[in-house]
Structure 1
Amino acid sequence: MNAIVKNTLLAGALSLLIAACGGSNAPPADSPRIAPAPSAMWRPALNDTWQWQLKEKINTSYPVAVYDIDLFDTPITTIQALQAAGKKVVCYFSAGSAENWRSDFASFQAADIGRALSEWEGENWLDTRSANVRKIMRTRLDLALSKGCNGVEPDNVDGYANPSGFSLSAATQLEYNRFLASEAHQRKLAVALKNDVRQLAELVGDFDFAVNEECHSYNECDAYQSFTLNGKPVFNAEYASSYATDVTARQTLCADARARNFHTLVLPLALNDGLRYSCEP
């Protein structure tokens, strides 16, 4: 008997023995099924364009490379439709605040929850040193993976610079933000650094791109050179009404954004697609 035939017969006998004993390589029928991590991690390119919409039904018609949408509220079918159209999907969630309308809000402990965020009803700062908070964030990243997101945008990652009600520091913020980046990368999810302007230079090596709000209005855009000079895109949103109503103001804004190699949008603060101006040429 040649070796090939012998090995084939042995393999068949082994399969019959496993079947007879009730063995199987398949998971139990009731076991949770999470989509496997992609074999290669996507990272946005410096010239990628974007759209940002977190509320209401997503307008999928914009000719951009990247969509940034809400992790919890966006159906998987919308994510899949965007990807079928050749777009990458970044999923937003708050990593530094508890929002009382989220489905996992009850998972936070009383000790995790601090002061209210100014002007954002139902939202409170979190103690990002908490092991329980980090467990919840890992679960949110698992949700992003299971829904097929290409990347994530963890928000409110600058609690140390705000009146959070906790003794957070620059050092604890750096450690927490690096935790988020590492956990995202373990799942092969690209990760954005949201605002946290003071720590851009220290965190550029950990994050794949930046999402900024109103650096033009607050004169903070210079700090983002640390990202663009390293080939990492900056997705910027401006909310000032003058940019929407004054063509000259918008032209000045866009000229500055293009000079910086930013991808700047003029959007409503509600991020509901109520208006949109793009500085892309």
Structure 2
Amino acid sequence: MIRLVLLPLLLSALPAALPSGTDVDYQLGGAADVPAHVGIVVRDRTDPPLAAKYDVCYVNGFQTQPDERAFWRRHPGLLLRDGGRPVVDEAWGEWLLDIGTPGKRRALARIVGRWTDGCADDGFEAVEYDNLDSFTRSHHLLTRADAVAFARLLVARAHRDGLAAGQKNLAGFDGTAIGYDFAVAEECGRYRECGSYTRAYGDQVLAIEYRPRDFRWTCRHYGDDLPVVLRDRDLTPKGVHEWC
């Protein structure tokens, strides 16, 4: 009798899969309206979800946001350092977080977990944690094992909040093994990596391209199965928006 009562409750708590047959917009540089054919919208955690869409909350889980340096200066022991200086992802001007020990991973998971709670409270259906491959820019101070161990903590928190969890980048790693529900693949067409994501996630992949020729390639090879969007690198509201 108890099992019959609990089963519907457990099923209702499962995170919702990405909807099929619709497009995605990637709005990390600011919120904007979307055309009717777009059913999936990714926004920064500081922006509200868009009602009546499948909303994905962007959380910078492995690096810092450029405008949040004051916050992280209050947590200096959680920043990855090389020779006493924070290690920077030069492409985006973001400091890497130090996920190199279990204690630091737990401390960071508590901080990122509060942001995840906020995504759920705001009404998002899913969360993507940027950026699983950050360790590759760590000057060899972090390892893939560190990243995967930290990702396990983040995915568990997302699921506790009823959110689907998205693997951001790191082609070739099957994140379903640690509970990821979908993938966000930046420039998988440019690097010919889209297949590594679809082998793990099927059609549960969001493909983001920043160069027109890569966008055309991704559309030609994967546009029938995946939502693919071309965006400007700053992801500005009035910037480039194209779909297959």
Is the TM value for this pair above 0.5?
A: yes
Quick one: distance in 2 between partners of 1:103 and 1:189?
27
SS in 2 for 1:153: strand
TM-score between both structures, scaled by the size of structure 1: 0.71
Q: 1:264 to 1:57 in 2, by over 3 A?
A: closer
- What corresponds to 2:199 in structure 1? 226
Q: 1:236 to 1:138 in 2, by over 3 A?
A: same
TM-score between both structures, scaled by the size of structure 2: 0.81
How far off its partner does 1:202 sit? 4.8
The higher radius of gyration belongs to: 1
Q: 1:43 to 1:106 in 2, by over 3 A?
A: same
Quick one: distance in 2 between partners of 1:202 and 1:252?
25
How far off its partner does 1:108 sit? 5.3
How far off its partner does 1:106 sit? 4.1
Question: What value does the CA root-mean-square deviation take over the aligned residues?
Answer: 2.4
Q: State the Cα deviation string for residues 151-184 of structure 1 (Å, max 9, x = none).
A: 111101222222x257322222211112111110
Comparing 93-102 with 187-196, greater Cα deviation is found at 93-102
Unaligned runs of 5+ in 1: 1-37, 244-248
Quick one: distance in 2 between partners of 1:146 and 1:103?
25
Residue number among 229, 233, 237 corresponding to 1:269 in the alignment? 233
Query: Percentage identity across aligned positions?
Result: 23
Answering whether residue 221 of structure 2 is matched by residue 256 of structure 1, we say yes
- What corresponds to 1:140 in structure 2? 115
Letter in 1 for 2:190: S
How far off its partner does 1:253 sit? 3.7
SS in 1 for 2:154: helix
Q: Is the 8 A contact 1:236 1:265 kept in 2?
A: yes
Quick one: distance in 1 between partners of 2:66 and 2:217?
39
Q: State the Cα deviation string for residues 89-120 of structure 1 (Å, max 9, x = none).
A: 11101000122423982475212112011122
How far off its partner does 1:193 sit? 0.5
Comparing 106-115 with 135-144, greater Cα deviation is found at 106-115
Quick one: distance in 2 between partners of 1:160 and 1:107?
21
Letter in 1 for 2:78: D
Q: Is the 8 A contact 1:266 1:277 kept in 2?
A: yes
Quick one: distance in 1 between partners of 2:114 and 2:73?
11
Q: 1:151 to 1:108 in 2, by over 3 A?
A: farther
- Give the length in aligned residue pairs: 222
Quick one: distance in 1 between partners of 2:171 and 2:125?
24
Letter in 2 for 1:119: A
Letter in 2 for 1:101: D
Matches of residues 1-281 of structure 1 in structure 2 within 5 Å? 41-72=15-46, 74-75=47-48, 79=49, 82-83=50-51, 86-102=52-68, 105-106=71-72, 109-114=75-80, 115-121=87-93, 123-128=94-99, 129=101, 130=104, 131-162=106-137, 164=138, 167-199=141-173, 201-203=174-176, 206-229=179-202, 232-240=203-211, 242-243=212-213, 251-258=216-223, 261-273=225-237, 274-279=239-244
How far off its partner does 1:88 sit? 1.5
